[in-house]
Amino acid sequence: MKYDALPSDLFANNRKRLAASLPRKSLAVIHSADLAWRSADGTQPFIQSSDLFYLSGMDQEETILLLFPSHPDPAMREILFVRETSELLAVWEGRKATPEEATGISGVAKVLWTKDFDAVFRTLVREAESIWLNHNEHARSGAPVNFSLDDRFRRLCQERHPHHRYERLAPLLHRLRAEKSEAEIALIQRACDITAKGFDRLLRFVRPGVKEYEIEAELLHEFVRHGSRGFAYQPIVASGANACVLHYVANDQPCRDGDLILLDVAAEYANYNSDLTRTIPANGRFTPRQRAVYDAVLRILRLCIDELAVPGKAIREVYQKEAARAVEEELIALGLLDAAKVAEERAQEDLPEEKRAYRKYFMHGVSHSLGLDVHDVAPAENVFVENMVVTVEPGIYIREEGIGIRLENDIVVRSGGNLDLMAHIPIEAEEIEARMAGL
């Protein structure tokens, strides 16, 4: 792995928190991700299951974690199963973790080969009253049933042991993963710092005539050379009118003089993600109209970070609406909305947000949870919690003018004042212009 070794107590503490949430005689099973096949005999780069990594730190395929916190034998309370290594495997694929190395990574004392899992599970399941199985329950997930190893094991387990009580592990993990430890925050900060280096590089590189994919290449170079696997998500480098396409990923057009370039690009580090958006002028100078829209978006971002995102606040029902009202005020000032029309809509409290006039210019959410997943899991209650890491990403998109501006920073939500993990990355228009001028 490109990243530095992580302390095993990070994962031991995560398991301890989960164990405290499980009732007596609970048996929990979490699988690693599959190797994703492309075609013929090719595979995609391996990306570990976020839940398995959160609880074990193991970045290797064919790994299984078994937890039985109330088992009378302490040696049977945590068992990690890893792929059996060999000299032949080392020649073809490289070394895999030995049981001793897996213990050093995870802090789990008892490590066996994956081939031993079935026998151990059959023994322990007879002593369990409930079996806790995992599934991707992210609200945005469109993954098919029985897609992952966890899904396939769930079906097999219920066939073999139909009389046990089955419980969902995902709601517990969502609640635990939403509140980040200081060690996790430090890893996200590391990803943000690598992203900052990439952004600084491209500010010195961008000029009229460069292709969007050339900017992408500059970023990838900088990310990888600082220990990242690369982009945390598929990068968006959108110049001119492309910036009004929210998920534009073609990145194949030239950046013209007078264009704005919307950059939704960020690095990951040790499986933890950052998420940055900046909008810069291709020629290094904002026009007066571009600057007016840019400053409007920046004011909304500052408002969300400094005043609106607080622990206990409902994210969708309250925070999003408060941000939307601020967007309305800015759109009125920009001459894009009629103040009387907005006042009329505000008087209609039951008018759905998607039917309000501002949605023509701001049509997405202003925030999402961030961590081991870019759109990380969040509590079912959908409220900000202490030490939750979230993005703040307002935008204004004026398709008829070919202007799309979005700004995004990552913050730690705290009752004593939010921590901006990207405060050191240039965002003021003057600073961006100065950096692009080499000042």
Does 71 participate in catalysis according to the annotation?
no
Rounded to an integer, the average pLDDT of 330-341 is 98
Does 397 participate in catalysis according to the annotation?
yes
Q: Answer whether residue 105 shows pLDDT above 80.
A: yes
Predicted pLDDT of residue 37: 86
CB 351 within 8 A of CB 343: no
**Of 70, 66, 73, residue with least CA distance to 52:** 66
Does 364 participate in catalysis according to the annotation?
yes
Query: How do residues 177-211 score in pLDDT, each as one tens digit?
Result: 999 999 999 999 999 999 999 999 999 999 999 99
Predicted pLDDT of residue 139: 83
Residue 315 token pair: 């994210």
Does 264 participate in catalysis according to the annotation?
yes
Catalytic entry in 368, 373, 376, 420: 368
What the chain holds in terms of domains, given with CATH numbers, is: 8-177 (3.40.350.10), 182-436 (3.90.230.10)
Does 135 participate in catalysis according to the annotation?
no
Query: What is the C-alpha separation between 236 and 244, in angstroms, rounded?
Result: 11
Does 226 participate in catalysis according to the annotation?
no
β 260-264/277-281 pair status: antiparallel
Q: Answer whether residue 143 shows pLDDT above 80.
A: no
Does 406 participate in catalysis according to the annotation?
yes
Worst-scoring range by mean pLDDT, 26-30, 32-36, 128-132, 300-304? 32-36
Q: Answer whether residue 315 shows pLDDT above 80.
A: yes
Predicted pLDDT of residue 87: 86
List 383's β-bridge partners, or say none: 314
Catalytic entry in 41, 73, 354, 400: 41
Query: How do residues 260-299 score in pLDDT, each as one tens digit?
Result: 999 999 999 999 999 999 999 999 999 999 999 999 999 9
Catalytic entry in 397, 410, 420, 433: 397
Compute the C-alpha angle 183/187/188, nearest 5°: 115
**Rounded percentage of the chain residues whose pLDDT exceeds 70:** 100
The per-residue pLDDT of the chain, averaged, comes to 96
Predicted pLDDT of residue 145: 64
Give just the sign of the alpha carbon dihedral 377, 383, 387, 389. positive
Catalytic entry in 62, 216, 268, 275: 275
Q: Answer whether residue 426 shows pLDDT above 90.
A: yes
Residue 37 token pair: 């096949």
Does 34 participate in catalysis according to the annotation?
no
Residue 230 token pair: 């690369």
Catalytic entry in 38, 140, 163, 247: 247
Does 161 participate in catalysis according to the annotation?
no
Catalytic entry in 154, 174, 177, 406: 406
**Of 247, 250, 285, 278, residue with least CA distance to 263:** 278
Rounded to an integer, the average pLDDT of 218-228 is 98
pLDDT band at 146 (very low <50, low <70, confident <90, very high): low
